[in-house]
């Protein structure tokens, strides 16, 4: 895949990615066929996906500090659940919001609003750690605080959002103010 393709699809819902594949690569299968193929492959190989350095450590630090957390994704539930299982986060009461749990996915604020509600909070009381401009737009629209932590340094974020290159110092700073 060309780099620019990744820039266009990161953080986007499956339907958007499918349409881009049709447009750029001439994909001819139906959305349902593509989705079944994609998710069959994904779930079979989820354990092989490399975990982003620092992500699980940050999750665990927040967990140990007693902060409530939710995973908010523009992916379908099948992908979200596969990731939760592979990461060892599957526990009773685990809160996650997938694109299947909302009417409108990111960049709409609904996923973050739903996550805040499930946490018993207002979006303004939450901090979203996001890796995509689409997710940042959603969190901004919900009124959440934002830490942009993209893997792809070429992504363009909304004005006023300065991405961080390392999450750990930011997490430690947040934990200092959360007590």
Same domain, 40 and 66: no
Summarised one tens digit per residue, pLDDT across range 128-176 is 999 999 999 999 999 999 999 999 888 999 999 999 998 877 777 777 7
What domain range includes position 28?
A: 3-48
**Integer Cα distance of 115 and 124 in angstroms:** 12
Task: Indicate whether 44 and 68 sit together in one domain.
Answer: no
Do 111 and 137 contact (CB within 8 A), yes or no?
no
Domains of the chain: total: 2
The 10s digit of each residue's pLDDT in 11-45 is 888 898 999 889 988 899 999 999 999 999 999 99
Asked if residue 38 and residue 59 are part of one domain, the reply reads no
**Inter-CA distances, 10 with 25, 98, 135, 177, 179, Å:** 17, 15, 9, 31, 34
The pLDDT value given to residue 13 = 85
What CA–CA distance (Å, rounded) separates 142 from 162? 18
What is the radius of gyration, based on Cα positions, of the chain? 16
Instruction: Note whether 27 and 42 are same-domain residues.
Output: yes
171, 98: one domain: yes
pLDDT digits (tens, 9 = 90+) for 76-125: 999 999 999 999 999 888 999 999 999 999 999 999 999 999 999 999 99
d(CA 96, CA 112): 10
Residues 82 and 142 in one domain: yes
């Amino acid at each position: 895949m060309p780099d620019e393709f990744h820039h266009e699809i990161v953080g986007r819902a499956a339907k958007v990615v499918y349409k881009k594949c049709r447009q750029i690569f001439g994909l001819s299968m139906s959305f349902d066929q593509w989705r079944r193929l994609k998710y069959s492959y994904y779930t079979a190989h989820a354990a092989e996906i490399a975990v982003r350095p620092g992500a699980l450590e940050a999750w665990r630090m927040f967990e140990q500090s007693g902060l409530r957390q939710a995973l908010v994704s523009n992916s379908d539930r099948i992908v979200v659940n596969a990731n939760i299982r592979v990461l060892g986060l599957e526990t009773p009461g685990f809160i996650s919001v997938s694109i299947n749990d909302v009417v409108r996915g990111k960049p709409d604020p609904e996923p973050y609003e739903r996550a805040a509600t499930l946490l018993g909070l207002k979006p303004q009381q939450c901090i979203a750690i996001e890796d995509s401009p689409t997710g940042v737009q959603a969190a901004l629209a919900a009124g959440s605080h934002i830490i942009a932590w993209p893997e792809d340094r070429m992504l363009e974020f909304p004005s006023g959002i300065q991405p961080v290159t390392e999450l750990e110092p930011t997490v430690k700073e947040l934990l200092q103010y959360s007590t």
